[in-house]
């Protein structure tokens, strides 16, 4: 009886060990959302991005494909928006469409149209070499308020390559309290500014929880730098529930972003939120 008991224990041990070996790869495949992928050339860009992810040994659950509208090019804007929406039916792509705030009523009409087609985010990029507009212009405020009414979030560049970038965006968020903003790059080298948020949130009636960040590009720069500890401190100050992962492809790859995130002194739970959890809650809570 003793030998049978020993044999039974051995069988159970081997079975448990085999199960653990099988489970390790499955557990390591954590969901990932890359919220900052530029789709310059339609499906060609999508395939290039997915091929790069695969070739680097990575996986992607979903990614945000970005278009940026140019002022006065209304037909092109509509065509590119429709292209992203169509690609989202074939690939794990969240369409981040765009309208130009200086296109007035036409921009508002296009925003309503794409919101009706299920678009959850639009991209605005105020700098001269991109969409070229002043964040403080009333037309920008009006468009952002309209987006909030339609349940559309705004992904706005925040690399701080122009004076007053963070300050202007903070004021815009105050003016549009019902609109969710995702400030890309979290201020770049001016990320320190955003440590004002813990103080702003204590001022009654001043600020809603409508400011989020993607840490694309800046994350790669900060990991392993002399500023890494302060960057992590800032991330915790702005709130780990308010940070999204992004690569800024093709300038940077998803592998660069995830490797940099892995190097930061964050808890596994914090990293999981940044990789996927926060984006799912904000942008696609209805999906399994």
Q: Which two tokens stand for residue 133?
A: 């507009």
The answer to whether residue 225 scores a pLDDT higher than 60 is yes
Residue 278 to residue 232: CA distance in whole angstroms: 17
56 and 157 in a single domain? The answer is yes
Residue 182 to residue 29: CA distance in whole angstroms: 26
The answer to whether residue 288 scores a pLDDT higher than 70 is no
203 and 246 in a single domain? The answer is yes
Domain that holds residue 182: 31-283
In a domain, residue 274? The reply is: yes
Domains in the chain, number: 2
Rounded average pLDDT over 36-55: 97
153 and 183 in a single domain? The answer is yes
The answer to whether residue 6 scores a pLDDT higher than 90 is no
Q: What percent of the chain has pLDDT over 90?
A: 82
Residue 275 to residue 65: CA distance in whole angstroms: 16
Residue 156 to residue 176: CA distance in whole angstroms: 14
- pLDDT number for residue 207: 81
The answer to whether residue 23 scores a pLDDT higher than 70 is no
pLDDT digits (tens, 9 = 90+) for 164-177: 999 999 999 999 99
5 and 83 in a single domain? The answer is no
35 and 25 in a single domain? The answer is no
Residue 203 DSSP one-character state: S
């Amino acid at each position: 009886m003793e030998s049978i008991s020993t044999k039974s224990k051995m069988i159970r041990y081997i079975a448990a060990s085999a199960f653990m070996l099988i489970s390790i790869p499955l557990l390591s495949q954590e969901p990932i959302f890359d919220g900052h992928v530029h789709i310059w050339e339609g499906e060609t860009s999508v395939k290039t991005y997915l091929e790069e992810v695969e070739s680097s040994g990575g996986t992607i659950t979903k990614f945000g494909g970005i278009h940026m509208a140019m002022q006065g090019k209304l037909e092109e804007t509509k065509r590119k928006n429709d292209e992203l929406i169509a690609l989202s039916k074939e690939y794990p792509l969240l369409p981040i469409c765009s309208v130009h705030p200086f296109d007035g009523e036409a921009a508002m009409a296009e925003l309503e149209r794409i919101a009706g087609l299920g678009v959850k985010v639009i991209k605005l990029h105020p700098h001269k070499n991109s969409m070229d507009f002043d964040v403080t212009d009333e037309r920008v405020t009006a468009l952002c308020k309209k987006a909030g009414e339609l349940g559309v979030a705004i992904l706005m560049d925040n690399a701080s390559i122009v004076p007053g970038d963070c300050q202007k965006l903070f004021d815009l968020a105050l003016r549009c309290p019902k609109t969710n903003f995702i400030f890309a790059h979290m201020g770049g080298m001016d990320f320190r500014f955003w440590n004002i948020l813990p103080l702003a949130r204590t001022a009654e009636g001043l600020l809603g929880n409508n400011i989020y960040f993607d840490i694309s590009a800046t994350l790669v720069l900060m990991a392993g730098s002399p500023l890494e500890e302060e960057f992590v401190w800032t991330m915790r100050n702005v709130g780990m529930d308010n940070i999204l992962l992004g690569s800024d492809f093709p300038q940077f790859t998803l592998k660069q972003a995830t490797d940099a995130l892995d190097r930061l002194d964050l808890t596994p739970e914090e990293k999981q939120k940044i990789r996927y959890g926060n984006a799912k809650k904000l942008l696609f809570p209805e999906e399994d």
